[in-house]
A and B are shown apart, each in its own frame.
Chain A
Amino acid sequence: MTADQSIAPASPRPAEPSTDRDAVRLRGARLSYGRRLLWDGLDLDVRPGEFLAVLGPNGSGKTSLLRVLLGLQGLSGGTVEVAGGTPGRGDRRIGYIPQQRSMDTSVTLRGRDLVGLGLDGHRWGVGLRGIRDRRRRVTEALAAVGATDYADQPVGLLSGGEQQRLRVAQALVGDPEVLLCDEPLLSLDLAHQRVVSELIDRRRRAANTAVLFVTHEINPVLPLVDRVLYLVDGRFRVGPPAEVMTSETLSELYGTTVEVVRVRDQILVVGAQGPHCVEQPHHLGEH
């Protein structure tokens, strides 16, 4: 195991990430599909290095928010800025980690290739230029997540946890300023949940990367979360977990009595199981 690799940026960034510029900035943002309003009047600033958990029941527009930040979905109103510019397709300053979904066991791809695609898979051409630099960066990214040992194995034969480590490397290899995570811990066991969230946490502390972390379960990342964006049926609340994750706030958001109980360092939300609360995570490709 490579012991002393840090997840620091592989090379000096061309544009210095100014600490005073927000990594993500939404002003009066509105998103609706036809007559269905997901959210409106959303103001949100995410600072570099901040860990923001995005919570809420199914269909509240968590994944849609990521789509907006990735430039795959336009806002219905308001403005959005990511890393100082309008979100555009294939922006390398944005990293993306999807939820773990087991890959086809027969797929012709090694871990190394998966990570490499994260670096330049969206570019046209064969990419023979800079192939050495590419190899070095991929190798570093693999080492940083401790995936060197199985980097040359077919990805389809790896365990879910191993695949998800590769996903982290794939998202970080481009040295992003903003990391968007869509339920990255789902269907992982507790040990791997801890490993993956720790890797993400270390990266944001080492490289000041902002993290937007969509999840339906805050407990695995609770110690890391700086602020929470909680979305329910067009209503939302932003703030530190201690302010948002209270019986009072959640009852107000859900419009019904919700009890928040703290058991040791875990938060249990009781009574938010409305008809829309059965968690079926969305994928980016939907809508």
Chain B
Amino acid sequence: MDKLFDFGLTGSLLGLDFVQHALLAAAVLGLVAGLLGPLVVTRKMSFAVHGTAELAFTGAAAALLFGFSIGTGALAGAVVAALLLGLLGLRDSERDSVIGVLLAFGLGVGVLLLSFYKGRAGNKFGLLVGQIVGVDSASLQLLSWCAVGVLAVLAVIYRPLLFASVDAEVATARGVPVRLLSPLFAVLVGVATALGVQTVGSLLVLSLMVTPAAAACRVTANPVLATVLAVVFAETAVLGGIVLSLAPGLPISGFVTVISFVIYLACRVIGAARARRSRDRRAVSAPGVSPVPARSGR
């Protein structure tokens, strides 16, 4: 435990190439996850993110076994998962169970594939809980391009997507292609999830895709501010988690999840206190129905 605060060791490790790669990858991931997170929360897609992450794991495991790049494998798995969820789970009533079915299947196949893998055991474990040696410069490049792609698409569809997410009926009436945006967003989430598999691991992608955004949504109702906060929280968790994990040499996901969970708890407390205060204020200032403002010139 004293290793945790061995700053000298942490400092020297920070100078290493692979650590810097990992930090860069994590920063990119935190940005993407933070930007997508509030929409994931608003659209109630936490479970879908989890399901997608497990299929990204399946893809990564296959890549590891057959000697492809893990990043490409995770990406392929996640995109297939997003499309499957989009196609099979169009109906609200079915979506939950479809995710459960795919998640279990993907995880099972992934474990099977890993059991055939004869390489370093740490690689296997890393896919599930994350490892920082996993990011070389080739995968860093793939990751960056993917992130640029996700952000570009998100910039184009953000407004209609927000409209469709919070107010589907009026969005439909205003001509927003609500049905087209759902699978498109699922693919964006899939790509972001795949980015996460290499750093925080597939089991704990939620701690970056969902927890920071859920925390942000507790303290503000402003969608733009919530997005900014989610990015800040995600970056804090993932970069802080990596730095803390260096000296003790433990998996980073433990630190990342704890940091983001603490942020979440703090935001809940702040949000609850604020809600109580505004309730009290409204109870005093607005008794019953306020009248229609008078017409000018009447």
Residues in A lying within 8 Å of B, measured CB to CB: 1-6, 70-72, 88-91, 96, 98, 101, 103, 106-110, 113-114, 117-118, 120-127, 143-146, 149-150, 152-155, 157, 161, 167, 170, 180, 191-192, 195, 198-199, 202, 283-285
Given known A-B contacts A2-B293, A98-B169, A121 and B176 have beta carbons under 8 A apart? yes
For A283, the chain B residues whose CB sits under 8 A away are 169
Contact A71 B289 (CB under 8 A): no
Question: In whole Å, how far is A177's beta carbon from the nearest beta carbon of chain B?
Answer: 15
Question: In whole Å, how far is B117's beta carbon from the nearest beta carbon of chain A?
Answer: 42
Chain B 100-131: CB-based contact to A (< 8 A → 1; otherwise 0)? 00000000000000000000000000000000
For B170, the chain A residues whose CB sits under 8 A away are 96, 98, 117-118, 167, 170
Given known A-B contacts A98-B170, A118-B174, A153-B278, A123 and B221 have beta carbons under 8 A apart? no
A154 to B223 CA separation, bound complex (whole angstroms): 10
Is B241 located at the chain interface by the 8 A CB criterion? no
Q: How many A-B residue pairs have CB under 8 A?
A: 141
Question: In whole Å, how far is A284's beta carbon from the nearest beta carbon of chain B?
Answer: 5
For B285, the chain A residues whose CB sits under 8 A away are 149
Contact B160 A108 (CB under 8 A): no
Is B272 located at the chain interface by the 8 A CB criterion? no
Contact B158 A126 (CB under 8 A): yes
Contact B175 A89 (CB under 8 A): yes
Given known A-B contacts A88-B175, A122-B160, A195-B289, A4 and B169 have beta carbons under 8 A apart? no
Q: Which of B41, B157, B162, B296 contacts A117 (CB 8 A)?
A: B162
For A101, the chain B residues whose CB sits under 8 A away are 169
Chain B 151-177: CB-based contact to A (< 8 A → 1; otherwise 0)? 000011111101100111111111110
Question: In whole Å, how far is A238's beta carbon from the nearest beta carbon of chain B?
Answer: 24
Q: Which of B160, B222, B278 contacts A121 (CB 8 A)?
A: B160
Q: Which of B172, B282, B289 contacts A72 (CB 8 A)?
A: B172
A–B Cβ pairs within 8 angstroms, 22 of them: A3-B293, A72-B175, A88-B175, A96-B174, A108-B216, A108-B221, A109-B223, A114-B166, A117-B167, A117-B170, A121-B160, A122-B159, A124-B160, A125-B155, A126-B155, A143-B293, A145-B293, A149-B285, A150-B286, A154-B221, A157-B278, A195-B289
Given known A-B contacts A3-B294, A109-B166, A285 and B172 have beta carbons under 8 A apart? yes
Q: Which of B175, B226, B278 contacts A108 (CB 8 A)?
A: B226
What range describes how many residues of B lie at the interface?
A: 35 or more
For B91, the chain A residues whose CB sits under 8 A away are none
For B155, the chain A residues whose CB sits under 8 A away are 125-126
Contact B173 A125 (CB under 8 A): no
A199 to B290 CA separation, bound complex (whole angstroms): 13
Question: In whole Å, how far is A83's beta carbon from the nearest beta carbon of chain B?
Answer: 14
Contact B176 A122 (CB under 8 A): yes
Contact A284 B166 (CB under 8 A): no
Is B144 located at the chain interface by the 8 A CB criterion? no
Contact A123 B169 (CB under 8 A): no
Nearest first, the 4 A-B pairs at minimum CB distance are A89-B175, A90-B175, A121-B163, A154-B221
Contact B296 A124 (CB under 8 A): no
For B182, the chain A residues whose CB sits under 8 A away are none
Given known A-B contacts A90-B176, A118-B174, A123 and B160 have beta carbons under 8 A apart? yes
Closest chain A residue to B279 by CB distance? Answer: A157
Is B10 located at the chain interface by the 8 A CB criterion? no
Given known A-B contacts A96-B173, A284-B173, A120 and B295 have beta carbons under 8 A apart? no
Closest chain B residue to A195 by CB distance? Answer: B292
Closest chain A residue to B157 by CB distance? Answer: A124
Contact A6 B295 (CB under 8 A): yes
A198 to B275 CA separation, bound complex (whole angstroms): 32
For A149, the chain B residues whose CB sits under 8 A away are 285-286, 290
A71 to B285 CA separation, bound complex (whole angstroms): 43
Most buried by A among B220, B285, B288, B292: B292
Q: Which of B38, B159, B160, B167 contacts A114 (CB 8 A)?
A: B167
For B288, the chain A residues whose CB sits under 8 A away are 191
Given known A-B contacts A107-B166, A109-B221, A113-B222, A122 and B174 have beta carbons under 8 A apart? yes
Closest chain A residue to B160 by CB distance? Answer: A122
A125 to B160 CA separation, bound complex (whole angstroms): 9
A117 to B162 CA separation, bound complex (whole angstroms): 9
Contact A146 B174 (CB under 8 A): no
Contact A5 B293 (CB under 8 A): yes
Is B291 located at the chain interface by the 8 A CB criterion? yes
Contact A108 B172 (CB under 8 A): no
A1 to B293 CA separation, bound complex (whole angstroms): 7
